[in-house]
Structure 1
Protein backbone atom coordinates (compact mmCIF):
# COMPACT_ATOMS: atom_id res chain seq x y z
CA UNK A 1 0.00 0.00 0.00
CA UNK A 2 1.22 3.56 -0.59
CA UNK A 3 2.12 5.82 2.30
CA UNK A 4 3.04 9.50 2.23
CA UNK A 5 5.85 10.78 4.37
CA UNK A 6 6.49 14.47 4.84
CA UNK A 7 9.92 15.53 3.65
CA UNK A 8 12.36 17.87 5.42
CA UNK A 9 10.45 20.85 4.03
CA UNK A 10 6.88 21.01 5.51
CA UNK A 11 5.51 21.61 2.00
CA UNK A 12 7.26 18.58 0.49
CA UNK A 13 6.44 14.87 0.57
CA UNK A 14 7.71 11.56 -0.73
CA UNK A 15 5.85 8.42 -1.71
CA UNK A 16 6.91 4.93 -0.59
CA UNK A 17 5.30 1.52 -1.00
CA UNK A 18 5.08 -0.88 1.95
CA UNK A 19 3.87 -4.45 2.31
CA UNK A 20 3.08 -6.68 5.30
CA UNK A 21 4.67 -10.03 6.24
CA UNK A 22 2.61 -12.43 8.32
CA UNK A 23 3.87 -14.73 11.08
CA UNK A 24 6.93 -14.69 13.31
CA UNK A 25 9.38 -11.99 12.35
CA UNK A 26 6.67 -10.36 10.23
CA UNK A 27 5.64 -6.76 10.12
CA UNK A 28 5.79 -4.01 7.55
CA UNK A 29 8.57 -3.76 5.02
CA UNK A 30 9.38 -1.30 2.23
CA UNK A 31 8.74 -2.75 -1.20
CA UNK A 32 12.14 -3.76 -2.54
CA UNK A 33 11.74 -2.68 -6.16
CA UNK A 34 14.38 -1.29 -8.48
CA UNK A 35 11.74 0.51 -10.55
CA UNK A 36 11.82 3.85 -8.77
CA UNK A 37 13.42 5.12 -5.57
CA UNK A 38 11.42 7.44 -3.30
CA UNK A 39 11.47 10.98 -4.67
CA UNK A 40 10.71 14.15 -2.75
CA UNK A 41 8.50 16.78 -4.41
CA UNK A 42 7.18 20.12 -3.29
CA UNK A 43 3.49 20.61 -4.03
CA UNK A 44 4.34 23.14 -6.76
CA UNK A 45 6.68 20.60 -8.40
CA UNK A 46 3.99 17.89 -8.18
CA UNK A 47 1.44 20.14 -9.87
CA UNK A 48 3.93 21.05 -12.63
CA UNK A 49 4.74 17.36 -13.24
CA UNK A 50 1.03 16.49 -13.35
CA UNK A 51 0.16 19.05 -16.00
CA UNK A 52 3.31 18.36 -18.03
CA UNK A 53 2.32 14.68 -18.13
CA UNK A 54 -1.34 15.45 -18.71
CA UNK A 55 -0.42 17.34 -21.88
CA UNK A 56 0.18 13.94 -23.50
CA UNK A 57 -3.55 13.22 -23.37
CA UNK A 58 -4.17 15.47 -26.38
CA UNK A 59 -1.98 13.39 -28.70
CA UNK A 60 -3.86 11.04 -31.00
CA UNK A 61 -1.37 8.25 -30.21
CA UNK A 62 1.61 7.74 -27.91
CA UNK A 63 4.52 5.27 -28.11
CA UNK A 64 3.98 4.53 -24.38
CA UNK A 65 0.57 2.93 -24.85
CA UNK A 66 -1.68 3.09 -21.78
CA UNK A 67 1.30 3.33 -19.40
CA UNK A 68 1.35 7.14 -19.54
CA UNK A 69 -2.25 7.40 -18.33
CA UNK A 70 -1.68 4.66 -15.75
CA UNK A 71 1.40 6.40 -14.34
CA UNK A 72 -0.42 9.74 -14.20
CA UNK A 73 -3.37 8.16 -12.36
CA UNK A 74 -1.03 6.61 -9.80
CA UNK A 75 0.82 9.88 -9.34
CA UNK A 76 -2.42 11.84 -8.86
CA UNK A 77 -4.04 9.42 -6.40
CA UNK A 78 -0.92 9.32 -4.21
CA UNK A 79 -0.67 13.08 -3.87
CA UNK A 80 -1.64 14.74 -0.59
CA UNK A 81 -5.24 15.91 -0.56
CA UNK A 82 -4.29 19.61 -0.64
CA UNK A 83 -2.20 19.09 -3.82
CA UNK A 84 -5.09 17.15 -5.43
CA UNK A 85 -7.48 19.99 -4.55
CA UNK A 86 -5.23 22.51 -6.33
CA UNK A 87 -5.03 20.26 -9.39
CA UNK A 88 -8.82 19.79 -9.40
CA UNK A 89 -9.30 23.56 -9.41
CA UNK A 90 -6.96 23.87 -12.40
CA UNK A 91 -8.21 20.87 -14.40
CA UNK A 92 -10.39 22.90 -16.76
CA UNK A 93 -8.30 26.08 -16.47
CA UNK A 94 -4.98 24.87 -17.90
CA UNK A 95 -4.47 22.90 -21.11
CA UNK A 96 -1.47 22.23 -23.37
CA UNK A 97 -2.95 21.57 -26.78
CA UNK A 98 -1.54 19.36 -29.50
CA UNK A 99 -3.03 18.79 -32.94
CA UNK A 100 -4.95 15.51 -32.78
CA UNK A 101 -3.91 12.97 -35.42
CA UNK A 102 -5.23 9.42 -35.37
CA UNK A 103 -2.78 6.58 -35.98
CA UNK A 104 -1.79 3.13 -34.75
CA UNK A 105 -0.53 3.06 -31.16
CA UNK A 106 0.92 -0.44 -31.65
CA UNK A 107 3.14 0.86 -34.46
CA UNK A 108 4.67 3.51 -32.18
CA UNK A 109 5.17 0.98 -29.38
CA UNK A 110 7.11 -1.40 -31.66
CA UNK A 111 9.29 1.45 -32.99
CA UNK A 112 10.07 2.63 -29.45
CA UNK A 113 10.89 -0.94 -28.38
CA UNK A 114 13.23 -1.30 -31.37
CA UNK A 115 15.04 1.91 -30.39
CA UNK A 116 15.46 0.75 -26.79
CA UNK A 117 16.60 -2.76 -27.76
CA UNK A 118 18.82 -1.67 -30.69
CA UNK A 119 16.82 -3.80 -33.10
CA UNK A 120 15.99 -3.33 -36.77
CA UNK A 121 12.39 -3.58 -37.97
CA UNK A 122 10.59 -4.51 -41.14
CA UNK A 123 7.87 -2.06 -42.14
CA UNK A 124 5.19 -1.79 -44.77
CA UNK A 125 5.26 1.89 -45.76
CA UNK A 126 2.70 3.89 -47.70
CA UNK A 127 4.71 6.54 -49.56
CA UNK A 128 1.57 8.59 -50.16
CA UNK A 129 0.71 7.08 -53.53
CA UNK A 130 -1.25 4.17 -52.01
CA UNK A 131 1.68 1.88 -52.78
CA UNK A 132 2.86 -0.30 -49.88
CA UNK A 133 6.64 -0.70 -49.91
CA UNK A 134 8.46 -3.19 -47.70
CA UNK A 135 11.52 -1.68 -46.01
CA UNK A 136 14.08 -2.89 -43.49
CA UNK A 137 15.08 0.04 -41.30
CA UNK A 138 17.03 0.87 -38.16
CA UNK A 139 14.97 3.43 -36.18
CA UNK A 140 17.04 6.28 -34.74
CA UNK A 141 14.31 7.95 -32.70
CA UNK A 142 10.80 9.36 -32.58
CA UNK A 143 9.62 12.95 -32.49
CA UNK A 144 6.29 14.69 -32.82
CA UNK A 145 5.60 17.76 -34.92
CA UNK A 146 2.10 19.28 -35.20
CA UNK A 147 0.52 16.04 -33.99
CA UNK A 148 2.34 13.76 -36.43
CA UNK A 149 4.98 11.29 -35.24
CA UNK A 150 8.16 10.98 -37.32
CA UNK A 151 10.82 8.28 -37.27
CA UNK A 152 14.26 9.11 -38.69
CA UNK A 153 15.95 5.83 -39.57
CA UNK A 154 18.62 4.16 -41.62
CA UNK A 155 16.95 2.34 -44.49
CA UNK A 156 18.83 -0.83 -45.41
CA UNK A 157 16.65 -1.19 -48.51
CA UNK A 158 17.73 2.23 -49.87
CA UNK A 159 21.12 2.21 -48.07
CA UNK A 160 20.52 5.78 -46.89
CA UNK A 161 18.99 7.76 -44.04
CA UNK A 162 15.29 8.45 -44.46
CA UNK A 163 12.53 10.19 -42.50
CA UNK A 164 9.34 8.12 -42.15
CA UNK A 165 5.97 9.51 -41.08
CA UNK A 166 4.73 6.99 -38.54
CA UNK A 167 1.04 7.16 -39.55
CA UNK A 168 2.10 5.90 -43.00
CA UNK A 169 3.73 2.81 -41.52
CA UNK A 170 0.98 0.26 -42.08
CA UNK A 171 2.81 -2.77 -40.63
CA UNK A 172 5.87 -3.13 -38.43
CA UNK A 173 7.66 -6.09 -36.86
CA UNK A 174 10.97 -6.64 -35.10
CA UNK A 175 13.75 -8.00 -37.33
CA UNK A 176 16.64 -9.71 -35.54
CA UNK A 177 18.21 -10.93 -38.78
CA UNK A 178 19.71 -7.55 -39.67
CA UNK A 179 23.01 -6.66 -38.02
CA UNK A 180 22.90 -3.50 -35.93
CA UNK A 181 25.29 -0.73 -37.09
CA UNK A 182 26.74 1.18 -34.14
CA UNK A 183 27.27 4.35 -36.18
CA UNK A 184 23.51 4.53 -36.69
CA UNK A 185 22.97 4.23 -32.94
CA UNK A 186 25.20 7.28 -32.40
CA UNK A 187 22.71 9.43 -34.33
CA UNK A 188 19.91 11.36 -32.62
CA UNK A 189 16.69 13.03 -33.73
CA UNK A 190 18.64 16.31 -33.72
CA UNK A 191 21.56 15.35 -35.99
CA UNK A 192 20.52 12.29 -38.00
CA UNK A 193 20.57 14.21 -41.32
CA UNK A 194 23.58 16.48 -40.70
CA UNK A 195 26.02 14.40 -42.76
CA UNK A 196 23.48 14.04 -45.52
CA UNK A 197 22.89 17.80 -45.75
CA UNK A 198 26.54 18.84 -45.45
CA UNK A 199 27.49 17.42 -48.83
CA UNK A 200 24.60 19.02 -50.73
CA UNK A 201 24.56 22.27 -52.69
CA UNK A 202 22.76 24.97 -50.68
CA UNK A 203 20.65 27.93 -51.72
CA UNK A 204 19.19 30.84 -49.75
CA UNK A 205 15.46 30.55 -49.21
CA UNK A 206 13.74 33.83 -48.32
CA UNK A 207 10.04 34.68 -48.02
CA UNK A 208 7.97 37.44 -46.45
CA UNK A 209 5.22 36.20 -44.14
CA UNK A 210 1.83 37.57 -43.17
CA UNK A 211 0.86 37.52 -39.49
CA UNK A 212 -1.03 34.26 -40.01
CA UNK A 213 1.79 32.76 -42.05
CA UNK A 214 4.33 33.68 -39.37
CA UNK A 215 2.24 32.02 -36.65
CA UNK A 216 1.86 28.83 -38.67
CA UNK A 217 5.56 28.56 -39.52
CA UNK A 218 6.53 29.20 -35.89
CA UNK A 219 4.71 25.96 -35.06
CA UNK A 220 7.31 24.13 -37.16
CA UNK A 221 10.28 23.38 -34.90
CA UNK A 222 12.76 23.41 -37.79
CA UNK A 223 11.68 26.81 -39.14
CA UNK A 224 11.06 29.01 -36.12
CA UNK A 225 14.73 29.86 -35.48
CA UNK A 226 15.03 31.37 -38.96
CA UNK A 227 12.05 33.74 -38.68
CA UNK A 228 12.59 37.44 -38.07
CA UNK A 229 9.65 39.48 -36.74
CA UNK A 230 8.57 42.67 -38.49
CA UNK A 231 6.82 45.72 -37.04
CA UNK A 232 3.53 44.92 -38.80
CA UNK A 233 3.26 41.57 -36.99
CA UNK A 234 4.40 39.56 -39.98
CA UNK A 235 7.90 38.32 -40.57
CA UNK A 236 10.54 37.13 -42.95
CA UNK A 237 12.15 33.71 -43.08
CA UNK A 238 15.73 33.32 -44.30
CA UNK A 239 17.42 29.95 -44.29
CA UNK A 240 19.93 28.00 -46.35
CA UNK A 241 18.35 24.84 -47.72
CA UNK A 242 19.48 22.01 -50.02
CA UNK A 243 18.99 23.24 -53.57
CA UNK A 244 17.07 20.09 -54.50
CA UNK A 245 14.53 20.80 -51.71
CA UNK A 246 13.46 24.19 -53.07
CA UNK A 247 10.19 22.82 -54.44
CA UNK A 248 9.37 21.24 -51.08
CA UNK A 249 9.89 24.52 -49.19
CA UNK A 250 8.00 26.50 -51.82
CA UNK A 251 5.00 24.16 -51.48
CA UNK A 252 5.20 24.51 -47.70
CA UNK A 253 5.00 28.31 -47.96
Structure 2
Protein backbone atom coordinates (compact mmCIF):
# COMPACT_ATOMS: atom_id res chain seq x y z
CA UNK A 1 0.00 0.00 0.00
CA UNK A 2 1.31 3.43 -0.93
CA UNK A 3 2.01 5.81 1.94
CA UNK A 4 -0.69 8.29 0.83
CA UNK A 5 -3.27 5.49 0.72
CA UNK A 6 -2.17 4.20 4.12
CA UNK A 7 -2.49 7.65 5.71
CA UNK A 8 -5.95 7.97 4.19
CA UNK A 9 -6.96 4.59 5.63
CA UNK A 10 -5.49 5.53 9.01
CA UNK A 11 -7.63 8.68 9.08
CA UNK A 12 -10.73 6.58 8.43
CA UNK A 13 -9.62 4.06 11.06
CA UNK A 14 -9.21 6.83 13.68
CA UNK A 15 -12.40 8.70 12.76
CA UNK A 16 -14.52 7.14 15.54
CA UNK A 17 -11.81 6.86 18.19
CA UNK A 18 -11.02 9.15 21.12
CA UNK A 19 -7.84 7.37 22.14
CA UNK A 20 -5.47 5.15 20.17
CA UNK A 21 -2.15 3.45 20.81
CA UNK A 22 0.87 2.98 18.63
CA UNK A 23 0.43 -0.79 18.72
CA UNK A 24 -3.03 -0.47 17.21
CA UNK A 25 -1.69 1.19 14.07
CA UNK A 26 1.14 -1.33 13.83
CA UNK A 27 -1.26 -4.29 13.97
CA UNK A 28 -4.07 -2.78 11.89
CA UNK A 29 -1.79 -1.77 9.01
CA UNK A 30 1.03 -4.30 9.39
CA UNK A 31 3.70 -1.63 9.83
CA UNK A 32 6.73 -1.30 12.07
CA UNK A 33 6.92 0.91 15.15
CA UNK A 34 9.20 3.34 13.30
CA UNK A 35 6.75 3.62 10.38
CA UNK A 36 3.83 4.09 12.78
CA UNK A 37 5.64 6.97 14.50
CA UNK A 38 6.38 8.62 11.15
CA UNK A 39 2.71 8.19 10.13
CA UNK A 40 1.52 9.83 13.36
CA UNK A 41 3.77 12.81 12.67
CA UNK A 42 2.39 13.03 9.11
CA UNK A 43 -1.20 12.79 10.37
CA UNK A 44 -0.49 15.70 12.70
CA UNK A 45 0.82 17.70 9.74
CA UNK A 46 -2.42 16.90 7.88
CA UNK A 47 -4.41 18.46 10.73
CA UNK A 48 -5.15 15.59 13.13
CA UNK A 49 -5.27 17.23 16.57
CA UNK A 50 -4.12 15.04 19.48
CA UNK A 51 -1.94 14.98 22.58
CA UNK A 52 0.04 12.09 24.02
CA UNK A 53 0.11 10.70 27.54
CA UNK A 54 2.52 8.18 29.01
CA UNK A 55 1.77 5.44 31.46
CA UNK A 56 -0.60 2.47 31.60
CA UNK A 57 -3.65 4.54 30.56
CA UNK A 58 -1.69 6.67 28.13
CA UNK A 59 -1.73 6.82 24.39
CA UNK A 60 -2.72 9.41 21.83
CA UNK A 61 -5.86 11.34 22.77
CA UNK A 62 -7.69 12.89 19.80
CA UNK A 63 -8.95 16.36 20.74
CA UNK A 64 -11.29 17.02 17.79
CA UNK A 65 -14.34 14.79 18.15
CA UNK A 66 -14.81 14.61 14.39
CA UNK A 67 -12.06 14.32 11.85
CA UNK A 68 -12.77 17.16 9.46
CA UNK A 69 -9.86 16.16 7.27
CA UNK A 70 -10.10 15.55 3.53
CA UNK A 71 -10.43 11.87 2.64
CA UNK A 72 -8.51 11.19 -0.54
CA UNK A 73 -9.52 8.52 -3.06
CA UNK A 74 -7.20 6.78 -5.48
CA UNK A 75 -8.06 6.39 -9.19
CA UNK A 76 -9.56 2.91 -8.79
CA UNK A 77 -11.80 4.08 -5.93
CA UNK A 78 -12.97 7.11 -7.95
CA UNK A 79 -13.80 4.91 -10.92
CA UNK A 80 -15.73 2.55 -8.63
CA UNK A 81 -17.79 5.46 -7.22
CA UNK A 82 -18.77 6.78 -10.65
CA UNK A 83 -19.52 3.30 -11.96
CA UNK A 84 -21.85 2.78 -8.98
CA UNK A 85 -23.61 6.13 -9.51
CA UNK A 86 -24.25 5.31 -13.17
CA UNK A 87 -25.46 1.80 -12.33
CA UNK A 88 -28.09 2.93 -9.80
CA UNK A 89 -29.60 5.73 -11.89
CA UNK A 90 -32.16 3.45 -13.53
CA UNK A 91 -33.46 2.10 -10.22
CA UNK A 92 -33.63 5.48 -8.54
CA UNK A 93 -37.42 5.55 -8.14
CA UNK A 94 -37.00 6.80 -4.59
CA UNK A 95 -37.21 10.16 -2.80
CA UNK A 96 -33.59 10.60 -3.86
CA UNK A 97 -34.26 10.26 -7.60
CA UNK A 98 -33.04 13.77 -8.41
CA UNK A 99 -30.03 13.65 -6.11
CA UNK A 100 -27.74 11.28 -8.02
CA UNK A 101 -26.96 13.81 -10.74
CA UNK A 102 -26.19 16.44 -8.08
CA UNK A 103 -23.93 14.05 -6.18
CA UNK A 104 -22.08 13.19 -9.36
CA UNK A 105 -21.63 16.85 -10.29
CA UNK A 106 -20.26 17.71 -6.81
CA UNK A 107 -17.85 14.79 -6.81
CA UNK A 108 -16.67 15.59 -10.33
CA UNK A 109 -16.07 19.25 -9.49
CA UNK A 110 -13.77 18.31 -6.60
CA UNK A 111 -11.53 16.11 -8.72
CA UNK A 112 -8.30 17.24 -10.38
CA UNK A 113 -8.70 18.21 -14.05
CA UNK A 114 -6.96 15.05 -15.25
CA UNK A 115 -9.38 12.80 -13.38
CA UNK A 116 -12.39 14.87 -14.50
CA UNK A 117 -11.40 14.23 -18.12
CA UNK A 118 -10.95 10.53 -17.38
CA UNK A 119 -14.43 10.23 -15.85
CA UNK A 120 -16.00 12.09 -18.81
CA UNK A 121 -14.32 9.68 -21.23
CA UNK A 122 -15.52 6.78 -19.09
CA UNK A 123 -19.11 8.03 -19.37
CA UNK A 124 -18.74 8.50 -23.12
CA UNK A 125 -17.34 5.07 -23.95
CA UNK A 126 -18.76 2.79 -21.24
CA UNK A 127 -22.45 1.98 -21.56
CA UNK A 128 -24.39 1.11 -18.41
CA UNK A 129 -27.36 -1.21 -18.89
CA UNK A 130 -29.47 -1.87 -15.80
CA UNK A 131 -33.09 -2.63 -15.13
CA UNK A 132 -35.14 0.56 -14.70
CA UNK A 133 -37.94 1.13 -12.22
CA UNK A 134 -41.20 0.32 -13.98
CA UNK A 135 -43.62 2.19 -11.71
CA UNK A 136 -43.63 5.37 -9.64
CA UNK A 137 -43.71 4.88 -5.87
CA UNK A 138 -45.69 7.73 -4.28
CA UNK A 139 -45.08 6.90 -0.61
CA UNK A 140 -41.49 5.65 -0.73
CA UNK A 141 -40.21 8.11 1.90
CA UNK A 142 -43.00 7.24 4.38
CA UNK A 143 -42.61 3.50 3.81
CA UNK A 144 -38.83 3.71 4.17
CA UNK A 145 -39.20 5.66 7.44
CA UNK A 146 -41.78 3.17 8.74
CA UNK A 147 -39.41 0.31 7.96
CA UNK A 148 -36.32 1.91 9.54
CA UNK A 149 -38.16 3.23 12.63
CA UNK A 150 -40.31 0.10 12.92
CA UNK A 151 -43.46 2.24 12.97
CA UNK A 152 -47.02 0.95 12.93
CA UNK A 153 -48.79 2.28 9.81
CA UNK A 154 -52.33 2.42 8.47
CA UNK A 155 -52.23 1.75 4.73
CA UNK A 156 -54.26 0.91 1.67
CA UNK A 157 -52.75 -1.58 -0.74
CA UNK A 158 -55.44 -3.56 -2.49
CA UNK A 159 -53.32 -6.36 -3.92
CA UNK A 160 -54.73 -8.88 -1.45
CA UNK A 161 -56.87 -6.99 1.08
CA UNK A 162 -59.57 -4.42 0.30
CA UNK A 163 -59.65 -1.45 2.62
CA UNK A 164 -57.24 -0.18 5.26
CA UNK A 165 -54.67 -2.37 7.01
CA UNK A 166 -52.49 -2.00 10.09
CA UNK A 167 -48.99 -3.02 9.00
CA UNK A 168 -45.43 -3.31 10.19
CA UNK A 169 -42.68 -3.56 7.55
CA UNK A 170 -39.75 -5.92 7.89
CA UNK A 171 -37.77 -4.66 4.89
CA UNK A 172 -37.89 -3.11 1.41
CA UNK A 173 -36.33 -4.73 -1.66
CA UNK A 174 -36.02 -4.10 -5.39
CA UNK A 175 -36.59 -6.86 -7.93
CA UNK A 176 -37.65 -7.24 -11.56
CA UNK A 177 -38.22 -3.51 -11.99
CA UNK A 178 -40.38 -2.97 -8.91
CA UNK A 179 -39.99 -2.13 -5.22
CA UNK A 180 -41.53 -4.56 -2.69
CA UNK A 181 -41.83 -4.93 1.06
CA UNK A 182 -42.42 -7.79 3.47
CA UNK A 183 -45.41 -6.53 5.46
CA UNK A 184 -47.06 -8.03 8.55
CA UNK A 185 -50.80 -7.42 8.91
CA UNK A 186 -51.42 -7.03 12.64
CA UNK A 187 -55.18 -7.66 12.44
CA UNK A 188 -54.94 -10.82 10.32
CA UNK A 189 -51.60 -11.87 11.87
CA UNK A 190 -50.41 -12.72 8.38
CA UNK A 191 -47.48 -11.86 6.13
CA UNK A 192 -47.77 -10.35 2.65
CA UNK A 193 -45.29 -9.34 -0.05
CA UNK A 194 -46.59 -5.97 -1.29
CA UNK A 195 -45.53 -3.77 -4.18
CA UNK A 196 -44.72 -0.24 -3.04
CA UNK A 197 -46.29 1.39 -6.11
CA UNK A 198 -49.63 -0.21 -5.17
CA UNK A 199 -49.93 1.75 -1.91
CA UNK A 200 -52.71 4.33 -2.19
CA UNK A 201 -52.54 5.67 1.37
CA UNK A 202 -49.95 5.50 4.16
CA UNK A 203 -50.30 7.03 7.61
CA UNK A 204 -48.18 6.59 10.72
CA UNK A 205 -50.19 5.42 13.74
CA UNK A 206 -49.56 6.06 17.38
CA UNK A 207 -49.33 2.52 18.61
CA UNK A 208 -52.40 1.25 20.45
CA UNK A 209 -50.69 -2.10 20.95
CA UNK A 210 -47.25 -3.54 21.59
CA UNK A 211 -45.02 -2.95 18.57
CA UNK A 212 -43.32 -6.13 17.39
CA UNK A 213 -39.53 -5.76 17.47
CA UNK A 214 -37.42 -6.19 14.34
CA UNK A 215 -35.93 -9.42 15.70
CA UNK A 216 -39.40 -10.81 16.39
CA UNK A 217 -40.58 -9.75 12.93
CA UNK A 218 -37.60 -11.45 11.31
CA UNK A 219 -38.14 -14.68 13.25
CA UNK A 220 -41.87 -14.59 12.46
CA UNK A 221 -41.19 -14.15 8.73
CA UNK A 222 -38.69 -17.03 8.65
CA UNK A 223 -41.25 -19.28 10.32
CA UNK A 224 -43.95 -18.09 7.89
CA UNK A 225 -41.68 -18.69 4.88
CA UNK A 226 -41.08 -22.29 5.94
CA UNK A 227 -44.81 -22.98 6.38
CA UNK A 228 -46.16 -20.91 3.49
CA UNK A 229 -43.75 -22.08 0.78
CA UNK A 230 -44.28 -25.73 1.57
CA UNK A 231 -44.31 -27.50 -1.84
CA UNK A 232 -40.81 -28.43 -3.06
CA UNK A 233 -39.94 -28.34 -6.75
CA UNK A 234 -36.96 -29.12 -8.93
CA UNK A 235 -35.93 -28.07 -12.43
CA UNK A 236 -33.00 -28.88 -14.70
CA UNK A 237 -31.02 -25.91 -15.99
CA UNK A 238 -28.60 -25.19 -18.79
CA UNK A 239 -25.58 -23.00 -18.07
CA UNK A 240 -27.39 -20.07 -19.68
CA UNK A 241 -30.42 -20.81 -17.50
CA UNK A 242 -28.19 -20.70 -14.42
CA UNK A 243 -26.89 -17.27 -15.46
CA UNK A 244 -30.43 -15.96 -16.01
CA UNK A 245 -31.55 -17.13 -12.57
CA UNK A 246 -28.52 -15.59 -10.89
CA UNK A 247 -29.49 -12.30 -12.51
CA UNK A 248 -33.10 -12.46 -11.29
CA UNK A 249 -33.81 -14.98 -8.55
CA UNK A 250 -35.85 -15.22 -5.36
CA UNK A 251 -34.67 -16.03 -1.80
CA UNK A 252 -36.44 -19.41 -1.73
CA UNK A 253 -34.57 -20.60 -4.85
CA UNK A 254 -31.28 -22.47 -4.75
CA UNK A 255 -28.98 -23.59 -7.57
CA UNK A 256 -27.20 -26.91 -7.04
CA UNK A 257 -24.50 -28.67 -9.09
CA UNK A 258 -24.47 -32.47 -9.14
CA UNK A 259 -21.85 -33.88 -11.46
CA UNK A 260 -22.42 -32.33 -14.89
CA UNK A 261 -26.03 -31.34 -14.14
CA UNK A 262 -27.38 -28.05 -12.78
CA UNK A 263 -30.58 -28.04 -10.75
CA UNK A 264 -32.91 -25.33 -9.52
CA UNK A 265 -34.51 -26.27 -6.21
CA UNK A 266 -37.10 -24.29 -4.33
CA UNK A 267 -40.52 -24.20 -2.69
CA UNK A 268 -43.81 -22.57 -3.65
CA UNK A 269 -47.32 -22.01 -2.32
CA UNK A 270 -50.34 -23.18 -4.34
CA UNK A 271 -51.82 -19.68 -4.35
CA UNK A 272 -48.71 -18.39 -6.11
CA UNK A 273 -48.20 -21.27 -8.55
CA UNK A 274 -49.00 -19.11 -11.58
CA UNK A 275 -46.22 -16.66 -10.64
CA UNK A 276 -43.68 -19.49 -10.59
CA UNK A 277 -44.95 -20.82 -13.93
CA UNK A 278 -44.62 -17.39 -15.55
CA UNK A 279 -41.10 -17.09 -14.12
CA UNK A 280 -40.05 -20.49 -15.51
CA UNK A 281 -41.65 -19.73 -18.91
CA UNK A 282 -39.47 -16.62 -19.10
CA UNK A 283 -36.39 -18.89 -19.07
CA UNK A 284 -37.45 -20.47 -22.36
CA UNK A 285 -35.60 -23.62 -23.39
CA UNK A 286 -32.96 -23.10 -20.67
CA UNK A 287 -35.11 -24.90 -18.07
CA UNK A 288 -36.90 -28.25 -17.82
CA UNK A 289 -39.45 -28.78 -15.03
CA UNK A 290 -38.86 -32.12 -13.29
CA UNK A 291 -41.22 -32.15 -10.30
CA UNK A 292 -43.82 -32.03 -8.85
CA UNK A 293 -46.39 -33.13 -11.43
CA UNK A 294 -48.67 -30.21 -10.51
CA UNK A 295 -45.99 -27.75 -11.59
CA UNK A 296 -45.22 -29.71 -14.78
CA UNK A 297 -48.91 -29.75 -15.73
CA UNK A 298 -49.37 -26.03 -15.09
CA UNK A 299 -46.20 -25.27 -17.04
CA UNK A 300 -47.39 -27.32 -20.04
CA UNK A 301 -50.86 -25.72 -19.96
CA UNK A 302 -49.23 -22.30 -20.11
CA UNK A 303 -47.06 -23.37 -23.04
CA UNK A 304 -50.15 -24.62 -24.92
CA UNK A 305 -51.89 -21.28 -24.33
CA UNK A 306 -48.87 -19.52 -25.83
CA UNK A 307 -48.76 -21.88 -28.83
CA UNK A 308 -52.49 -21.33 -29.50
CA UNK A 309 -51.76 -17.66 -30.16
CA UNK A 310 -49.89 -18.77 -33.28
Does TM-score exceed 0.5, indicating one fold? yes
Q: Which moved more, 1:222-231 or 1:202-211?
A: 222-231
2:190 equivalent to 1:160:
yes
Q: Decide whether aligned partners of structure 1 residues 171 and 72 sit closer, same or farther in structure 2, where only a CA change above 3 A counts.
A: farther
Q: Aligned ranges for residues 48-87 of structure 1 at < 5 Å? A: 48-59=80-91, 61-87=93-119
Q: Is 1:227 aligned to 2:255, yes or no?
A: yes
User: 8 Å contact 1:161–1:193 — kept in the other structure?
Assistant: yes
Q: Shift in Å at residue 53 of structure 1?
A: 2.3
Matches for 1:184-223 after TM superposition, within 5 Å: 184=214, 187=217, 193-199=221-227, 202-209=230-237, 214-222=242-250
| Counterpart-to-counterpart distance in 2, 1:202 and 1:67 | 43
Q: Distance in 1 between matches of 2:149 and 2:67?
A: 18
Asked which structure has the greater RCO (Cα within 8 Å, sep 6+), the reply is: 1
CA RMSD of aligned residues (A): 4.0
Contact 2:230 2:269 in 1 (8 A): yes
2:39 corresponds to 1:43: no
Q: For 1:109 and 1:33, how far apart are their aligned partners in 2?
A: 31
Mapped contact 1:218–1:224 kept (Cα < 8 A): no
The 10-residue stretch of structure 1 (140-149 or 68-77) with the greater mean CA deviation from structure 2: 68-77
Which blocks of at least 5 consecutive residues in structure 1 are unaligned?
1-6, 15-31
Q: Which has the larger radius of gyration?
A: 2
Alignment of 1:69-218 (within 5 A): 69-127=101-159, 133-179=163-209, 181-184=211-214, 187=217, 193-199=221-227, 202-209=230-237, 214-218=242-246
Separation of aligned partners in 2, 1:80 and 1:116: 38
| C-alpha displacement of 1:239 | 2.4
Determine the C-alpha separation between the residues in 1 that align with 2:71 and 2:77. Answer: 11
What secondary structure sits across from 1:100 in the alignment?
Answer: coil
Change (3 A) 1:194 1:73: same
Larger CA deviation: 210-219 vs 140-149 = 210-219
When residues 231 and 87 of structure 1 are mapped into structure 2, their CA distance, relative to the original with a 3 A threshold, is farther
Is residue 138–residue 184 contact of structure 1 (8 Å, CA) maintained in 2? no
1:146–1:180: structure 2 CA closer, same or farther, 3 Å change rule? farther
Question: Per the alignment, do residues 212 and 8 of structure 1 end up closer, same or farther by CA in structure 2, a change over 3 Å counting?
Answer: closer
Distance 1:171 1:69, change over 3 A: farther
Does the 8 Å contact 2:253/2:265 carry over to 1?
no
Report the Cα offset of residue 205 of structure 1: 0.4
Name the residue aligned to 2:265. Answer: 238
Q: Which has the higher strand share?
A: 1
Name the SS of the counterpart of 1:163 in structure 2.
Answer: strand
SS at match of 1:222: coil
How far off its partner does 1:185 sit?
5.5
What's the offset of the Cα at 1:124?
1.7
**Which structure dedicates a bigger proportion of its chain to helix?**
2
CA gap of 1:158–1:79, structure 2 versus 1, over 3 A, is: farther
Gaps of 5+ in 2: 12-63, 281-310
Q: Once the 2 structures are TM-superposed, how far is the Cα of residue 145 of structure 1 from its aligned partner? A: 0.8
Question: How far 1:68 sits from its partner (Å)?
Answer: 3.6
Checking the alignment, whether the CA contact within 8 Å between 1:206 and 1:238 is kept in structure 2 is yes
